């Protein structure tokens, strides 16, 4: 398996509390990519315990994923199924928890921020929400092939970060005209003082319909849905970190009552939060723990926008 850990100083991979058949790396991208790419990650597993292993993935911003594993990987949610995952794929903004089935091998991921998607691809993200498409339909085929080839020839561990840094520095050098508005909206979606699209529109001095168009095109969903997702993810992670499976004391104060929270649980998980928290999710737990140690937030959806270090 690959070498677990991170190029970030002071990170001991033992703190990830990995299972014996798994390996994991989390990396902070080059400072030139701050605010554009949230993280790089590499997952690996091998042996009998990895065969048909089932895990869960939480709703997320778009991700570029490279599947270097020999056996197929499947991801499915309540309303869709991706099988097998592509060797190089672009995964749009997701709004549901996803069931992940794999048989070992390496996958490499790049978590894009909304500003990063605008700079790299300049696409209408709403057209790709809850969808997977080949990466070479959005980036030049030759560039994608060269990047996949370089990743395959590498150690697929510590060498991944410099390879990805070089590629994305060269492809994301030119700022996008909408970046300031995207970054501002990104920050407000995480600010607990703002609980409605109207509040955000007023703060940005933006017409509500202009805000909606910005949110759909650059984030994939209307601001109301994104606020709901952020509130729910904040609450779910808090419950997971406190080990609270019997009560909802740790949920966001914006929830009016438990039934309000349970409606969002059904929307984003397809089940109650209690049922989800009672699932065996060792790899998800390792991912949340490792990312928080390396990058300060357990998931990209709760990570503050950084314009530089």
How far, CA to CA in Å, does 296 sit from each of 8, 14, 66, 221? 12, 17, 24, 25
Q: Has residue 220 got a pLDDT over 90?
A: yes
Residue 265, pLDDT score: 95
pLDDT, averaged across the chain? 94
Mean pLDDT of 85-99: 97
Mean pLDDT of 256-261: 87
| Least confident interval from 23-27, 77-81, 133-137, 218-222 | 77-81
Q: Six-digit token pair at 188? A: 């407000």
77 located within any domain? yes
- Structural domain of 81: 13-173
Mean pLDDT of 75-91: 95
Residue 94, pLDDT score: 96
In terms of residues, how long is the chain? 309
Mean pLDDT of 87-105: 97
Residues 48 and 135 in one domain: yes
Q: Has residue 214 got a pLDDT over 90?
A: yes
Per-residue confidence band for 304, with pLDDT thresholds at 50, 70 and 90: confident
- Tally of domains in the chain: 2
- Whichever domain contains 248, its CATH number is 1.10.10.60
Reduced 3-state DSSP string for the chain:
CCCCECCCCCCCHHHHCCCCCEEEEEECCCHHHCCCEEEEEEEEECCHHHCCEEEEECCCCCEEEEECCCCCCEEECCCCEECCCCCEEEECCCCCCEEEEECCCCEEEEEECHHHHHHHCCCCHHHHCCCEEEHHHCCCHHHHHHHHHHHHHCCCCCCHHHHHHHHHHHHCCCCCCCHHHHHHHHHHHHCCCCCCHHHHHHHHCCCHHHHHHHHHHHHCCCHHHHHHHHHHHHHHHHHHHHCCCCCCCCCCCCCCCHHHHHHHHHHHHCCCHHHHHCCCCHHHHHHHHHHHHHHCCCCHHHCCCCCCC
Distance CA 66, CA 240 (A): 28
Residue 242, pLDDT score: 82
pLDDT digits (tens, 9 = 90+) for 107-140: 999 999 999 999 999 999 999 999 999 999 999 9
Residue 32, pLDDT score: 97
Residues 248 and 102 in one domain: no
- Considering only CA atoms, which of 281, 186, 182, 258 is closest in space to residue 229? 186
Residues 69 and 156 in one domain: yes
Residue 250, pLDDT score: 81
Q: Has residue 306 got a pLDDT over 70?
A: no
Residue 245, pLDDT score: 56
Residue 232, pLDDT score: 95
302 located within any domain? no
- Whichever domain contains 53, its CATH number is 2.60.120.10
Determine the Cα angle at 171 with ends 4 and 9, to 5°. Answer: 30
CA 159 from centroid of its chain's CA atoms: 21
Q: Which residue has the higher pLDDT, 256 or 19?
A: 19
296 located within any domain? no
pLDDT digits (tens, 9 = 90+) for 264-277: 999 999 999 999 99
Residues 41 and 121 in one domain: yes
Residues 29 and 139 in one domain: yes
Q: Has residue 309 got a pLDDT over 80?
A: no
Q: Has residue 244 got a pLDDT over 90?
A: no
Residues 183 and 169 in one domain: no
Q: Which residues contact 250 (CB under 8 A, 6 or more apart)?
A: 235, 238, 239, 242, 244
2 located within any domain? no
218 located within any domain? yes
301 located within any domain? no
90 located within any domain? yes
Q: Six-digit token pair at 18? A: 């990995």
């Amino acid at each position: 398996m690959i070498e677990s850990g991170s190029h970030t100083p002071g990170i001991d991979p033992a703190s990830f509390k990995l299972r014996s058949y798994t390996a994991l790396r989390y990396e902070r991208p080059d400072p030139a990519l701050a605010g554009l790419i949230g993280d790089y990650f590499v997952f690996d597993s091998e042996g009998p315990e990895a065969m048909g292993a089932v895990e869960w993935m939480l709703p997320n911003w778009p991700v570029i994923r490279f599947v270097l594993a020999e056996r197929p990987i499947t991801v499915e949610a309540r309303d869709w199924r991706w099988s097998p995952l592509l060797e190089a794929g672009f995964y749009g903004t997701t709004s549901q928890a996803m069931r992940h089935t794999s048989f070992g091998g390496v996958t490499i991921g790049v978590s894009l921020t909304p500003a990063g998607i605008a700079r790299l691809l300049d696409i209408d993200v709403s057209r790709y929400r809850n969808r997977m498409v080949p990466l070479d339909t959005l980036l030049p085929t030759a560039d994608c092939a060269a990047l996949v080839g370089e990743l395959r020839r590498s150690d697929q561990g510590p060498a991944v970060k410099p390879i990805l840094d070089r590629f994305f520095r060269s492809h994301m050098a030119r700022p996008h005209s909408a970046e300031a508005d995207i970054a501002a909206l990104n920050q407000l979606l995480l600010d607990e003082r703002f609980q409605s699209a109207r509040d955000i529109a007023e703060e940005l001095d933006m017409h509500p319909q202009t805000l909606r168009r910005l949110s759909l095109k650059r984030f994939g969903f209307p601001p109301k849905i994104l606020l709901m997702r952020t509130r729910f993810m904040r609450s779910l992670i808090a419950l997971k970190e406190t080990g609270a499976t019997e009560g909802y004391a740790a949920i966001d104060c914006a929830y009016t009552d438990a039934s309000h929270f349970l409606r969002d649980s059904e929307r984003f998980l397809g089940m109650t939060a209690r049922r989800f928290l009672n699932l065996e999710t060792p790899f998800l737990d390792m991912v949340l723990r490792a990312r928080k140690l390396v990058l300060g937030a357990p998931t990209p959806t709760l990570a503050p926008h950084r314009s530089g270090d």
